[in-house]
């Protein structure tokens, strides 16, 4: 057996304690800037992450995505890994500047060819392509023109979606317009720990609205394209499973505030065509929201086929101003809540990101969506954990904590399905160790270990375990 072969499921293992529904989508997920590399090839120009990662002190060790996991040159090898895992679906993202280097105008053929080849090879391997249009890598040229706080950027995104739909609409099974717009708006323009590193509460709120608008414009473009109708259209949110530290009215109000800016700011426009009224009140000292134009919320609420949820850990809050974070302290990403809410470290085991391990939060979130969005199919588009993995002298990567994390979270998904949540699939984050944004390569989320010096890929124990889960259609007894 080579390092890449998943261990086959034992032949005797025919019983399953937690079997998932027939047709359940088993996937892995990645994002362009985190794995592709080839930052300067075939006309690709800098995105905000190429720029941000070069600002001293912004990314650990000065790491950049210039080479990353070199996926651009190793597509076939990486698809072979997925085939061995047995995944039914693969969620990747498109690098906007590889396709439209200036963020506008005609597409670059080589950029489109890369994604066409990826989609074709996936389909030949029997794996459905799930393409995300925006996973945080805005063309630098559009940021220079004002970025997401400007309405223009949403309009450009709609055009880019139309280009992609024409080019790949016959190959992609599911389009995801945006990945985690909360992070892109509030970490990128509020706290500034992500690209482009701006720190303005107003800019973050404007960006959030323009993400909702961009999502609606892209949905319309994807439906209107020649191949429209065949592919599903989706949106991925990192919804916060928010809990109060105590049942005191002030702590419960802290939950309301975080829920408003972290969850309902995206859920309400997209599923109801409204803005959360309490958030508009909470942020009155920052903005009167006059940047929301007539018809925007109607555009944002164009019907979609499923909602993607990224979940890693719960958020516990209490009343009180935010404690300073980071050295020097970073501005808060919680516009309208920063003076009233304190994040409380949750108890229990933690991952290498220092994130608490708590699968119940995922179950809570799924039941909430079951109740609030009946009829909307759900996909877990990201879930996983970073640990300090290394290859032992025999070349084996043992990651029992990750297996325990994944097992607990899949069990929570199963429990939610039994409780009536319409969850159609699970995409493990991530296929490969990769560029973990401000943490650079210091955090490993992959179930495939990447030696960044040689680009050698090695299945971790968790990859073998996941292959068995997929083959079995559920968790072991
Ligand atoms: O790596 C990220 C991903 O790009 C977006 N969701 C969270 C992951 C882990 O931080």
Q: What is the pLDDT of residues 286-325, one digit of tens each?
A: 999 999 999 999 999 999 999 999 999 999 999 998 777 7
For the segment 12-39, the average pLDDT, to the nearest whole number, is: 88
**pLDDT interval class at 229 (50, 70, 90):** low
Q: What is the pLDDT of residues 396-438, one digit of tens each?
A: 999 999 999 999 999 999 999 999 999 999 999 999 999 999 9
Closest-lying ligand 1 atom to the alpha carbon of residue 238: 6
Closest CA to 395 of 445, 463, 452, 461: 461
Residue 80's CB is within 10 A of a number of other CB atoms, namely: 15
- CA 14 to centroid of ligand 1, rounded, Å: 35
For the segment 228-236, the average pLDDT, to the nearest whole number, is: 87
- CA 247 to centroid of ligand 1, rounded, Å: 31
Closest-lying ligand 1 atom to the alpha carbon of residue 384: 9
What is the DSSP annotation of 337-348?
TTTTEEEEPPPS
Torsion, Cα of 298, 292, 241, 344 (10° steps): -170
Q: Please, what are the domains in the chain?
A: 18-472 (3.20.20.80)
Q: What is the pLDDT of residues 122-173, one digit of tens each?
A: 999 999 999 999 999 999 999 999 999 999 999 999 999 999 999 999 999 9
List, in sequence order, every beta strand (DSSP E) within 283-438.
306-310, 315-319, 341-344, 378-382, 423-429
**Helix ranges restricted to H, 225-287:** 249-259, 265-272, 277-282
Q: β-pairing, 89-93 with 448-451?
A: unpaired
For the segment 84-104, the average pLDDT, to the nearest whole number, is: 98
**pLDDT interval class at 11 (50, 70, 90):** very low
What is the DSSP annotation of 380-393?
EEE----------T
For the segment 106-124, the average pLDDT, to the nearest whole number, is: 98
Reply yes or no on whether the pLDDT at 391 is more than 90.
yes
Ligand 1 lined by 429 (C-beta under 6 Å): yes
Which residue from 445, 446, 447 has its CB within 8 A of the most atoms of ligand 1, so it is best to mutate?
Answer: 445
The residue nearest atom 10 of ligand 1, judged by CA position, is 436
Ligand 1 lined by 382 (C-beta under 6 Å): yes
Ligand 1 lined by 441 (C-beta under 6 Å): no
- CA 444 to centroid of ligand 1, rounded, Å: 11
Q: What is the pLDDT of residues 37-90, one digit of tens each?
A: 999 999 999 999 999 999 999 999 999 999 999 999 999 999 999 999 999 999
Give φ, ψ of 331 to 5 degrees. Answer: -60, 155
| Exposure string over 266-278, b if 16+ CB within 10 A, otherwise e | bbbbbbeeebbeb
Ligand 1 lined by 137 (C-beta under 6 Å): no
Active site members: 180, 382
Residue in the structure block whose two tokens are 């650990």: 60
Ligand 1 lined by 95 (C-beta under 6 Å): no
Closest-lying ligand 1 atom to the alpha carbon of residue 434: 1
Q: What is the mean pLDDT of the chain?
A: 95
Closest-lying ligand 1 atom to the alpha carbon of residue 436: 1
Which residue from 30, 69, 180 has its CB within 8 A of the most atoms of ligand 1, so it is best to mutate?
Answer: 180
Ligand 1 lined by 31 (C-beta under 6 Å): yes
d(CA 250, CA 176): 37
- CA 436 to centroid of ligand 1, rounded, Å: 7
Ligand 1 lined by 317 (C-beta under 6 Å): no
Q: Any bridge partners for residue 342, and if so which?
A: 318
Residue in the structure block whose two tokens are 């945080």: 136
pLDDT-above-70 percentage for the chain: 96
The residue nearest atom 9 of ligand 1, judged by CA position, is 436
The residue nearest atom 4 of ligand 1, judged by CA position, is 31
Ligand 1 lined by 467 (C-beta under 6 Å): no
Q: What is the pLDDT of residues 186-210, one digit of tens each?
A: 999 999 999 999 999 999 999 999 9
The residue nearest atom 1 of ligand 1, judged by CA position, is 436
Token readout for 86 is 């047995």
Q: What is the pLDDT of residues 436-459, one digit of tens each?
A: 999 999 999 999 999 999 999 999
- CA 329 to centroid of ligand 1, rounded, Å: 22
Ligand 1 lined by 50 (C-beta under 6 Å): no
Question: Quick check: 273 and 301 in contact, CB under 8 A?
Answer: yes
- CA 103 to centroid of ligand 1, rounded, Å: 23
Reply yes or no on whether the pLDDT at 9 is more than 60.
no
pTM, rounded to two decimals: 0.95
Cis previous bond, 431, omega within 30: no
Token readout for 442 is 């210091």
pLDDT for res 225: 87
């Amino acid at each position: 057996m080579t390092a890449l072969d998943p261990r086959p499921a034992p032949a005797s293992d025919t019983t399953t304690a937690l079997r998932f529904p027939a047709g359940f989508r088993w996937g892995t997920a990645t994002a362009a800037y985190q794995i592709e590399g080839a930052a300067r090839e075939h006309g690709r120009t800098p995105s905000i992450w190429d720029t941000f990662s070069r600002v001293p002190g912004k990314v650990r060790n000065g790491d950049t995505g210039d080479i990353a996991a070199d996926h651009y040159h190793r597509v076939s090898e990486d698809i072979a890994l997925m085939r061995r895992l047995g995944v039914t679906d693969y969620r990747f993202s498109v690098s906007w500047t590889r396709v439209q280097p200036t963020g506008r105008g005609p597409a670059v053929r080589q950029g489109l060819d890369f994604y066409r080849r990826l989609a074709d090879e996936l389909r030949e391997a029997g794996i459905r392509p799930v393409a995300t249009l925006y996973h945080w890598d805005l063309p630098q040229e559009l940021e220079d023109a004002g970025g997401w706080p400007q309405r223009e950027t949403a309009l450009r995104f709609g055009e880019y979606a139309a280009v992609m739909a024409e080019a790949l609409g016959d190959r992609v099974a599911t389009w995801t317009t945006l990945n985690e717009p909360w992070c892109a708006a509030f970490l990128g323009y509020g706290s500034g720990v992500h690209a482009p590193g701006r720190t303005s509460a107003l800019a973050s709120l404007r960006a959030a609205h323009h993400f909702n608008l961009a999502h609606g414009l892209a949905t319309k473009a994807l439906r209107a394209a020649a191949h429209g109708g065949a592919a599903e259209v989706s949106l991925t949110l990192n919804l916060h499973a928010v809990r109060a530290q105590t049942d005191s009215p002030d702590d419960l109000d802290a939950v309301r505030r975080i829920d408003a800016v972290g969850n309902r700011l995206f859920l309400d426009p997209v599923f109801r065509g409204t803005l959360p009224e309490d958030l508009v009140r909470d942020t009155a000292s920052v903005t009167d929201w006059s940047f929301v134009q007539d018809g925007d919320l109607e555009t944002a609420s164009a019907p979609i086929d499923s909602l993607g949820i990224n979940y890693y850990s719960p958020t516990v809050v209490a009343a009180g101003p935010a404690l300073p974070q980071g050295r020097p302290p970073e501005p808060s990403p919680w516009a309208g809540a920063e003076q009233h809410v304190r994040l409380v470290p949750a108890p229990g085991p933690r991952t290498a990101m220092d994130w608490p391990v708590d699968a119940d939060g995922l179950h809570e979130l799924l039941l909430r969506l079951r109740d609030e969005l009946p009829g909307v199919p759900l996909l877990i588009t990201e879930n996983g954990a970073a640990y300090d993995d290394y290859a032992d002298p025999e070349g084996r990567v043992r990651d029992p904590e990750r297996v325990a994390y994944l097992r607990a979270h899949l069990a929570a998904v199963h429990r939610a399905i039994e409780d009536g949540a319409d969850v159609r699939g699970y995409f493990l984050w991530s296929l490969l160790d990769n560029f973990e944004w401000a943490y650079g390569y210091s955090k490993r989320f992959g179930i495939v270990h990447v030696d960044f010096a040689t680009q050698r890929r090695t299945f971790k124990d968790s990859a073998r375990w996941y292959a068995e889960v997929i083959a079995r259609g559920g968790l072991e007894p």
